[in-house]
Amino acid sequence: MEASLRRGGVGGMMSKPQTPRSSNKTARYLRSSEGSFSGKHDKDKDKGVNVQVVVRCRPLTEDETKLRAPVVISCNESRREVCALQNIANKQMDRTFTFDKVFGLSSQQKDLYDEAVCPLVFEVIEGYNCTIFAYGQTGTGKTYTMEGGARKKNGEFPSDAGVIPRAVKQIFDILEGQTSEYNMKVSFLELYNEDITDLLAPEEFSRSNEDKSKKPLALMEDGKGGVVIRGLEEEIVSSADEIYKILEKGLSKRRTAETLLNKQSSRSHSVFTITIHIKEATPEGEELIKCGKLNLVDLAGSENVSREINKSLLTLGRCINTLVEHSGHIPFRDSKLTRLLRDSLGGKTKTCIIATISPSIQCLEETLSTLDYAHRAKNIKNKPEINQKMMKSAVIKDLYFEIDRLKQELFAAQEKNGIYIPRDRYLQEEIEKKAMTEKIERIDIELESRDKHLQEVQELYNSQHQFSVELTLKLENTKQRLQETQDSLRDLEERCRQANATIKEKEYLISNLRKSEKALAERALELRAELEISASDISNLFTKIAQELDILHKSVASSTTKQEQQLKEMEKDMHSFVSTKTEATKELRVYLEKMKTMYGSGIRNLNDLAKELDITSQSAFSHLNHEVSQHSSNLEELFKGLTFEADVLLRDLQENLICQENKLTTYAQQQREAHSNAIESTRSIAQIAVDLFKNLSAHALKVDKIMKEEQTTNEYKLSELEKKFEECVALEERQLLATVAELLADSNARKKKWVEHEIGGIRENMAIRTKKLQQEMSIMQDTTSLVKAKWADYTQRAESRYLEDATSVESGIENIKLVLHKCLEQVQLGAQQWNKGQESLLSLEKKSVDSVDEIVRGAKDRLQVLRGQLLSTVNSIEEDADTENKKLLSSMNRSLQLDHEAREKLESVISPCRADLRELDNAHNRKISEITENAGKCLLQDYKARNKIIRSHIFLLFFL
């Protein structure tokens, strides 16, 4: 009875679990982002997902290692490639295959599971149906990959566990971590020689020993496109151990046989199915049931696929080829294996195929066959869809119906009042029903093909009809164009008739024009005679003009001879003028060279003075820079000494304080009675230390203030020095002459820029040093504040300890007084050292100011001496320039006088030539006016004669 209650079929509804689980969930498992199943569900549904294909290569066996069989398979896991080495007819012909994932000889069970199977388990929890195949030759590790090694006796999880136990463990780990209730069922079947056997069915002792626990099951359609195995046991499980026991129970019933490669080779296909129902609650409070299914398939060996035992594998290969090539009908019904896995190939299931291969050369042919098979399967596209969630009320209703049905079957079995027939007849009817079902399916296929053919014919008819409609439209357009062409032809004929009429009229006009042309030719002959007469008259006129031109030429020649004579005289006068002018220019050149040498010597003297001034100013400022640098180095040494002494003082003080702290702690442990006196003394010590630190901070502030005052005084003195130098330079510039003002201005500008640059550098160095001193002072202040904070903390802790322990510290007070006395002495010593440092700083400042004043006074005296030398030099240059300028003016006056004399001579020569030219011009103008008047008359007569001829022609043309 218990076995009959567990029966339900693959498509059975969920039943209430034996022990409902509801543990607190700390963190949900996230689905892995690796593998080909991590895309979005909507995208998978729309575009489809390729079947994931994984290849695993086993290592060489002991026998193969002993025989030293060569390895012909190489796996590249990073590039996901498998290379098969082939040598055909002494030619190396390698073949390379690419897959989704590749696992080489040294791969472990965990690696394969984590990368290929783990994402699918998460998809099952989400409500998808997933299938995992193991395909390959016998002895390549299919069963080892799916089942793994044997479980340990102590119940520990083995490291070589296969896909099935690892998937079971992961599913329970995820479900245990969730708060929702769940239910799980498993089934285990075997397919051998096209017979389905339930590996979980109870043994029937009434059957023969040969066929014990091997009851064949029928495969039926569920009316929704799915497949149901009638009578298949589904075990409800609540833990992983139960599944492991069920798995061991089913594996013990599988058909195995010894082969050359494996002593216990599986000779059948096995399908282990895990069905999970999870209860979820909607935000509205309604409860839904989510269902997911995981099919774990261990196929038989792929060798000798033509044999009956592997007929299902042959059909599976044909289905894969058809799906990849998209070539019409897919032969799923040719074997029970393909009918069972129909949804996993091109359906709504997420599928992963694990192809196992051998690296040995003995198995190369079967290895290549497996690789080809897997490579083709990689192109199959599935369209995964999440299972529809069911309402809890609907599930309960279905369960009630199932319970009623089982009760009726149980009652009928107990009462024997049902319809019973012999087993042979029942099997015969089942076979006839199966044949009828297959016949109906073939008829359906033929109807589908006929419907497709009819649809193709209908599409052809529609295309032909559309083509005829297009031809009709083209015919109408052609008729319309023909009508338009005929209308245009009629218009052209009418235009042709009109053109013929116009041609006749034009021929008549041409005949009239020919007559008029004859008359015009006669008139032209008459006009030609008249033109010859006028031409003779014009030739006579030109002879007269030539005579007049000869006379004019003679008069021009006589005038040119006169002008040549006058020009020769002018040339002689010009030669004499040029000679005198050259002498004057030579004298001027001599004077100018003298002036040039004189000015050059003056400029050289000025340049020497400027160089001397530059050298003296450079030496003065270098001396000043030396004094300032010496001053800054002295300041650095002074402050280094002060900081060192302050550090020593603070260090000694800190050591004394630490020593006092240790003594106080020892006294606190020995004497616990005088706690009030100890508190008062500790407070007085703290106040004295705070005062000490305040004094140190005040001294540090004073030193900082002194440094700032020193910096401001140095900057003020330097600015005063710069102002005095600028005033001195400006005074010298105003006193120099205009001729050398530009040179001195450039020199002074360069000097001023140099001085500004040097002073800026001094200021920057002073600022950097003062900044460093300020940093040191700030560090010292930070140190004192840190010590102050530590001391305050210590006093608080000492006070609390003394309040708790209540000890007497009379002997400690004396030691504290001694230490405080030492501290006061050190403070006084530090104050004296600070006073000494201040005094040495003031004395150093006075020394630096005196040295700078001496340098400035020396530079001022040298500049005054140079200014006197420059004034004397400039005066001498001015006197020499005045004398030379006077000589130059006298020579220029002589040259101007010579120019005036030459001009008077030229005017006396040019005036008679000018009168002759005027007379010649007047005579020439008269002749030209006469010639122009005569030519005008001739041209007027010619124009009148031509005008008459043209008017007669126009009149004749107008008349015609």
Burial 338-355 (b: 16+ CB within 10 A, else e): bebbbbbbbbbbbbbbbb
Q: Is 250 annotated as a binding residue?
A: no
CB 150 within 8 A of CB 255: no
> Which residues are CB-contacts of 541 (< 8 A; sequence separation ≥ 6)?
934, 935, 938
On whether 137 is known to bind a ligand per the annotation, the reply is yes
Q: How far apart are CA 439 and CA 445, in angstroms?
A: 10
User: Sign of the C-alpha dihedral, residues 519, 525, 527, 530?
Assistant: negative
Q: Is 98 annotated as a binding residue?
A: no
367 labelled binding-site residue: no
Give the pair of three-digit tokens for residue 531: 């033109």
Residue 717 annotated as binding site? no
Annotated ligand binding at 19? The verdict is no
Closest by CA position to 342, among listed 235, 218, 228 = 228
For residue 535 the two structure tokens come to 């031409």
Q: Are 798 and 816 in contact (CB under 8 A)?
A: no
3-class SS letters over 247-300: HHHHHCCCCEECCCCCCCEECCEEEEEEEEEEEEECCCCCEEEEEEEEEEEECC
Handedness of CA 758, 761, 765, 767 (dihedral sign): positive
Residue 29 gets which letter from DSSP? P
Spatial CA neighbour of 56 closest among 73, 35, 36, 40? 73
Main-chain phi, psi angles of 269, to 5 degrees: -95, 145
Separation CA 252–CA 668 (nearest Å) = 83
The one-character DSSP state at 89 is T
Query: Encoding tokens for residue 947?
Result: 């005008």
Q: State the CB neighbour count (10 A cutoff) for residue 927.
A: 16
418 is annotated as contributing to ligand binding: no
List, in order, residues 6 or more apart from 480 with CB less than 8 Å away. Answer: none
Answer yes or no: are the C-beta atoms of 194 and 336 closer than 8 Å.
Answer: yes
Please give the C-alpha separations between residue 905 and each of 124, 234, 580, 915, in angstroms, as whole numbers. Answer: 132, 150, 15, 17
Q: Is 141 annotated as a binding residue?
A: yes
Q: Could you write out the three-class secondary structure of 367-433?
A: HHHHHHHHHHHCCCEECCCCCCCEEHHHHHHHHHHHHHHHHHHHHHHHHCCCCCCCHHHHHHHHHHH
Q: How far is the C-alpha of 941 from the C-alpha of 945, rounded, in Å? A: 6
Pairing of strands 129-136, 350-357: parallel
CA distance 884 to 872: 19
Phi and psi for 646 in degrees, rounded to 5? -65, -40
Question: What three-state secondary structure class fits 751?
Answer: helix
List 196's β-bridge partners, or say none: 191, 217
- CB-CB contact of 794 with 661 (8 Å): yes
Burial class (CB in 10 A: 0-12, 13-18, 19+), 482: exposed
Binding residues for ATP: 136-143
Binding residues: 136-143
